[in-house]
Amino acid sequence: MPSFEKRVNPHGDEQDDGAFETQANETLGEPFKEHFNSNSTSQDKASDPLGEAIAHYANTLTVFENAPLSPSQQDAIAVLMARDRILTLLATHDLSPPLSQQLIRLDSQLRANSITISRTLSLIDYIVALNPPQTAWWWYFDAPEEIHPWDRLDWLWSSLSIACFTASISLIADVSSRFLSGGPDTLGAFTISTQSILTLVTARSALTSTGQQAVRRLLERIRLPKYLWQEAGFVLAALLLLGMLGFYSSLPAIANYYRIWGDEVACIHDGFSTVDCSRNPLVAEQHYRRALKLDPHNLNVHFHLGQLYEQLNRLNEAHDQYQIAALTGATPETVESSTWATIRLSRLHILEGNYATAISLLQQSISTNGKTIAPTTNAHLYKTFGWARYEQGRLLDAEAQLNLAITFEEKAEQPTPIG
């Protein structure tokens, strides 16, 4: 606002500043006008240091953002110092509404550049040197966390960990159903509980927040680098899965133990029935059935279960078990059981009058297994063959087969067990 201080013109009349300015303009013309306006602007700027500081702040931000390649440390320091100047002036100067809006906009612009500033400057060094107050928030931008190259694949390790846990849980469900079929026993209950507890503890440590915190504390305690934490979680999940796969692959061995326990209570020794023991057919059947749940392709178990059913005169069930053992491809370890199952199955067919079926089974077994089985087994094979021919009335052929049986018996190193 112009001052209304009275002035005295050369004629002695009083006049105010406005009249004086008008008269000066008319008298001195444009040179005075420029000089007067210049002095007036200088006085306005001098009287508004806060506005000048905000304008400088805006200018430094523009320079920082428009750096051709990347901002220099000098550009970043200029921005922060300019903001410091405004904070100092706010303690002694009032901020007008227009300047308030401008400052808010510029501060928002500064926050948008916080990551770039943190990367350009080591702010912690400046905080130690300058000790700025907490109200000077621009000095306290969080430094961007450096991403280790291995951390870029954390999503992959997490996905693989979840896949391993899922597979482990699926294996536990499968194994549990096998052990629990026919009712739980001591070994089955112990196996299931051990696996379940191990898997649940491992999965909880990796998939729940509480478990993850416990794992972090453990990893920090052993001083494992943070960029390896996800990999460590995957290794843990993979080890669990490998352990489950190892146990799963051992199911045939466990099934064999159940077969042995079944043999003991079924009074079967080395594939043959014995009489000097007390039979418990119900328990034996449970053991055999559980063994088949653990290893459905175990020919020895099928053969022994067929024997048990034959002892119990459950001939249809014995027929089914013998047929599985006889017709499933035999390995060197199971060829004896497979051949004996063929002999037993052929005997049932002979008793039923199915001589042609029995002879077909025997001929196939002689052709397939005759050169690999023990002489004793061959002797029983040809003896059964001779029996089938005898029932057909082909006596000469029956005699030839029985003579072969005698030959193999003579080759046997030990007496033939009674089937």
Which residue, chain included where needed, has tokens 């060829």?
335
* Residue 246: C-alpha distances to residues 136, 164, 172, 235, 252 (Å): 61, 14, 12, 16, 12
What does the block give as tokens for 163?
């896949």
Which residue, chain included where needed, has tokens 């040179």?
31
Side chain identity, residue 83: R
DSSP conformation class of 91: T
Residue-level pLDDT at 182: 63
CB-based burial label for 360 (10 Å; 0-12, 13-18, 19+): middle
Question: What is the C-alpha separation between 338 and 346, in angstroms, rounded?
Answer: 12
Which residue, chain included where needed, has tokens 């997490």?
158
* Low-confidence residues in the chain, pLDDT < 50: 1-46, 275, 416-419
DSSP conformation class of 146: P
Side chain identity, residue 307: Q
What does the block give as tokens for 111?
């926050």
- Cβ(347)–Cβ(319) under 8 Å? no
| Residue 266: count of CB within 10 angstroms of its CB | 26
8's enclosing H/E stretch is: strand 7-8
Residue-level pLDDT at 276: 55
Question: Phi/psi at 272 (nearest 5 deg)?
Answer: -125, 150
Side chain identity, residue 160: L
Beta bridge partners of 7: 15
Question: What is the C-alpha separation between 271 and 303, in angstroms, rounded?
Answer: 8
Question: Phi/psi at 7 (nearest 5 deg)?
Answer: -120, 160
Question: What is the C-alpha separation between 327 and 357, in angstroms, rounded?
Answer: 13
What does the block give as tokens for 64?
């920082």
Contacts of 7 (CB under 8 A, 6+ apart): 14, 15, 16, 17, 19, 20
- Cβ(391)–Cβ(358) under 8 Å? no
**pLDDT (tens digit, 9 = 90+) per residue, 301-360?**
999 999 999 999 999 999 999 999 998 877 888 889 899 999 999 999 999 999 999 999
